[in-house]
A and B are shown apart, each in its own frame.
Chain A
Amino acid sequence: MNFRTFAAFVGPSVFMMLLFIAYPLISVFMQSFYITQPIYETVEIETCTPGFLTQTCITEQVSQPKLDEHGEIITQTEYVGLQSYRNVLEPERAWRAISNGEWNVLSTINFWKALRFTLTFTLITLPLVIGCGLGISVLINNAARAIRGPVIFVSLLPFIITPVIGVLSINWLFRGDGILTAMLETWLNRDIALFAQAWTIEILMMVYRVWHVAPFAAIVFYAGLQTVNQDSLESAVIDGATRWQRMKYIVIPHLMPLIIFVSMIHLMDSYRVFEEIVGFSSQGYVISLQWLTYDFLVPDQAGNRSISRASASAMLTMIGVVILLIFPLRRTWRDHKGGH
């Protein structure tokens, strides 16, 4: 395929990605080195607001942005180098905490707190998703043909359900006197508050994520199981291999590309964990990297947002993802070169 044909085929797709992903990404990258802010002046203003029955007026000094002759806010943009990154990472405080060995202090600094949780979340759910996915796919494959269809259907439900709704439904089951908490309470005969400490919330979030993603893994693996070579399985039986050995030496290697595929998708998705934080409103206890970026980005009531810090933290998140992805990507490179 010559370059011209290739360009014609991939052109539209590449154009859309450049316009809607690459271009904003570059502007985010640039913004992380600059700070743009309005120029404020201090003026004395009388403001009257309604009380319950009568108005209250107060006169006070307020900071107000200057407007130009068109009525637009005058802003100034300044190159600040790595200042925004320093503001996010807070290296002095982090270093002081590390050198004093005070890990609990380190875990109160937002970025490190978020990084800690994001990594724990990603690395704990990864084996669980792969394990549960494998387990379920083997179970489905084991079941009688007649019930496989319905079982696959039921298994797919957690995967297709709208994430926002999924999180909320889990929330109702457990929050306050949700019925599952109530059941646990009668069973263990003690008072349980699952949303009152960090570790239970973390467990709930991981449970939700595994529930949500394992079906995807299971279906992919199930599809893979259909193409396992039956002859080699049978000859393994004749050679006296146990079930476990057959699994380990024939099935798993056969599924290996799929396992890597699912791991890669899962690494990317769980590294940007976000819905769980909002859905379980866990900000008081645990936060994630994407939540941190989002929090910088969302304007407060007075309209202030920290675009520069948001950009910096987005860039840091991206660097993290790239590091996580390097290992599976080396394989793709070999495949790509070997495949042609």
Chain B
Amino acid sequence: MSSRALRQPLSLRLTSNIFLAFWCIVAVFPILWITVMSFKSPVDAFDSNALNVIFGPATLAKGQGISILDIIAGIAIFWGTILVSTKTLPSMVRSYTKPGQAWFGWVIGVLVVIVGFLLVFFVILPAVLGVLNPIFGPLGKDVLGLTTEHYKTVWIDRGFSDNFQNSLIVTTGVVTLSLTVGTLAGYGLARSGSTLAFWILIVALIFRALPPSVLVSGYLPVFISSAEWLAPILGENAPTLYGKPFAVIAVLVAINQPFTIWMLRSFFQNIPSELDEAARVDGCSHFQAFRRVIMPVMWPGVITTGLFSFLLAYNDFLVTSLLLDAQNQTMVPAIVGMFNRETTTTDQVVAVAAAVSITAPLIFLVLIFQRQIVSGLTAGAVKG
């Protein structure tokens, strides 16, 4: 709103900001609330009085709580992490990597931030505060019931880190494969005005609209007996596709393809075709033009589309729960399993802690890629 002519009266700005604040509360409240619940003893977590859930008297009574000093330190570290990942990280990545290898810098940077946060928050902070709390008297006294035992149960006793690893494998596979296949197709579709291209898009759209449960249950018998029907082709080494992460990756990529190609096609349409024509005049083939000229200007679009692929793979329940066995189980089916088991209230709070755990990486991801998402969409991904 740079222009004077468009300046708004104070009253309007005030109302606008109040509504915005209201929306922000609505947006975060459920997530914030399950986070609070996950740190309480079962009695507190499911109390019908909101204040009891927040202050956790039963948790405090068991001698598990934090002091005002702890709270201040915790908030400071959170804030620091946010600052680092939104301000310092992008500039560091930019200055330390060559333009073509930015993605590599991002991967390293993100890992460093996450590991650093976990180290500071769960190891250094408790040690430092253990010393400081007794010194500060009333400020160091426990006021808020809070326990991390449920997280300990989830990650250590229940082996949730295995599920985390499996999720990581599946999501990485899906994002990589889906973007590779998708950018090629998106480019081809954007640059071809043929009727065939149109019908591919329409059929893809109808595929996008299909109820997935119909397709997925058809895979199961075929995947389980794959060693038998693949044997004539592959002989002895025919694999059983059921329970194999790569098979699930292929299915998820295929299911995600319609959305990916639509989205990437719109991105490519916004890149003037004069650009590749010029490259072609210089003697490049279509593939060379695509690789050398088009891809470098496509990063915002690829990141945005990649994020959607990531969300789909990371959040998927239907495919992963049916086609993976317990040894390769990803996080979402594992959590749903925890809720569906014959559970006690304690188990439920443990499951809540698991639910919060799987939301945390998503939050980090958005923190880091937010700028790219918005600029990607602004670049005109979505023309309809």
Quick check: do A and B touch in the complex, using CB within 8 A?
yes
Chain A interface (Cβ within 8 Å of chain B)?
1, 3, 5-6, 8-10, 12-14, 16-17, 19-22, 24-25, 27-28, 135-136, 139-140, 142-143, 149, 151-158, 160-166, 168-170, 172-173, 176-179, 182-183, 211, 215, 219-220, 222-224, 226-227, 230, 233-234, 237-238, 257-258, 260-262, 264, 268, 271-272, 274, 289-290, 293-294, 297-298, 310-311, 314, 317-318, 321-322, 325, 328-329, 331-333, 335-337, 339-340
CA distance A150 to B341 in the complex (A): 38
Query: In the bound complex, how far is the Cα of B17 from the Cα of A219, in angstroms?
Result: 17
Write out the residue numbers on chain B whose beta carbons fall within 8 Å of the beta carbon of A222: 374, 377
Whether A234 contacts B384 by the Cβ 8 Å rule is no
Please tell me if B104 contacts chain A, counting CB pairs below 8 Å. Answer: no
Please name all residues of chain A whose beta carbon is closer than 8 Å to the beta carbon of B28 when the two chains form the complex: 154, 157
- Once the chains bind, are A161 and B359 in contact (CB under 8 Å)? yes
Q: Please state if A9 and B205 are interface contacts (CB–CB under 8 Å).
A: no
In the bound complex, residues from chain B placing their C-beta under 8 Å from that of A21 are: 207, 210, 215, 254-255, 257-258
**B366 beta carbon closer than 8 Å to chain A:** yes
Is there an interface contact between A215 and B6, defined as CB atoms closer than 8 Å?
Answer: no
Closest 5 CB pairs of A and B: A9-B188, A340-B193, A20-B254, A13-B185, A223-B377
**Alpha-carbon gap, A123 to B255, bound state (A):** 25
A-contacting residues, B1-38, CB 8 Å: 1-3, 5-6, 8, 13, 16-17, 19-20, 23-24, 26-28, 30-31, 33-34, 37
Q: Let me know if B88 is at the binding interface, CB within 8 A.
A: no
How far apart sit A262 and B263, CA to CA, in the bound complex (Å)? Answer: 12
B209 touches which one: A17, A223, A272 (CB < 8 A)?
A272
Centre residue among B19, B187, B215 by max chain A CB count within 10 A: B215
CB pair A1 B255 closer than 8 Å: no
Q: Which residue of A lies closest to B376 (CB)?
A: A223
Report if A268-B208 is in contact (Cβ < 8 Å); known contacts: A9-B184, A220-B377: yes
- Assess the A336–B209 pair: CB atoms within 8 A: no
Contact of B366 among A16, A136, A153, A179 (CB under 8 A): A153
Q: B125 interface residue, CB < 8 Å from A?
A: no
In the bound assembly, the distance between CA atoms of A336 and B266 in angstroms comes to 11
- Is B118 an interface position by the 8 A CB rule? no
Q: A155-B27, A272-B211 are in contact. Are A10 and B189 (CB under 8 A)?
A: yes
Q: Is the interface of A mostly helix, strand, loop or mixed?
A: helix
Given contacts A219-B377, A268-B209, A318-B206, contact A139 B20 (CB under 8 A): yes
Q: Using A20-B255, A321-B209 as known contacts, say yes or no to A297 and B359 having CB atoms under 8 A apart.
A: no
Interface centre among A6, A14, A233, A339 (most CB of B within 10 A): A6
Known: A223-B381, A293-B211. 20 other contacts (CB 8 A): A8-B188, A9-B184, A21-B255, A139-B16, A139-B19, A142-B16, A152-B370, A153-B366, A155-B27, A164-B317, A165-B34, A168-B355, A172-B33, A179-B50, A182-B50, A215-B27, A219-B377, A258-B382, A264-B384, A297-B213
Any chain A CB within 8 A of the CB of B358? yes
Can you report 14 residue pairs joining A to B where beta carbons are below 8 Å apart? A1-B192, A6-B197, A142-B13, A143-B16, A155-B24, A160-B362, A160-B366, A161-B31, A165-B335, A165-B355, A226-B378, A261-B384, A321-B209, A322-B206
Q: Are the C-beta atoms of B315 and A6 separated by less than 8 Å?
A: no
Are the C-beta atoms of A12 and B181 separated by less than 8 Å?
A: yes
Inter-subunit contact B192/A169 (CB<8 Å): no
Contact B30 A14 (CB under 8 A): no
List chain A residues, Cβ under 8 A from B43: none
